[in-house]
Amino acid sequence: EPEVTQTPSHQVTQMGQEVILRCVPISNHLYFYWYRQILGQKVEFLVSFYNNEISEKSEIFDDQFSVERPDGSNFTLKIRSTKLEDSAMYFCASSLQGAHSGNTIYFGEGSWLTVV
């Protein structure tokens, strides 16, 4: 069964450093997302991406964050200058037509980011 894959599974970084989290969404999907979860708590929406542009972003997704789909398969989340409070599990997700069309959103296994 097709799945969303994420790398790295775990990254430790110094505060102030740039981090890039990578994702390969399911191949025929058109909607892409990043969510984050702090220590097994609520899953928070960060950003949605469709047709090569951001379609919605949350208040968490400030100027330190950016997303890119550099080729036909990868979808990346960049944090420009990490802060301690960025420590979280980051989930990439994709959907064929988006949950607003009743389509399921499929999640990757997550990238656990620890900022020290």
Judged by beta carbon, residue 19 or residue 89, the one nearer other proteins is 89
Can you point out the beta strands (E) in the chain?
A: 5-7, 10-13, 19-24, 31-37, 43-50, 53-57, 65-68, 75-79, 88-95, 106-107, 111-115
22 binds other proteins (CB under 8 A): no
The CA angle 30-76-42, to the nearest 5 degrees, is 85
Q: Which stretch binds other proteins (CB under 8 A): 20-28, 61-69, 80-88, 95-103?
A: 95-103
Shortest reach from residue 4's CB to other proteins, in Å:
8
* Single-letter residue type at 53: E
Judged by beta carbon, residue 15 or residue 38, the one nearer other proteins is 38
**How many residues of this chain interact with other proteins, rule: CB under 8 A?**
31
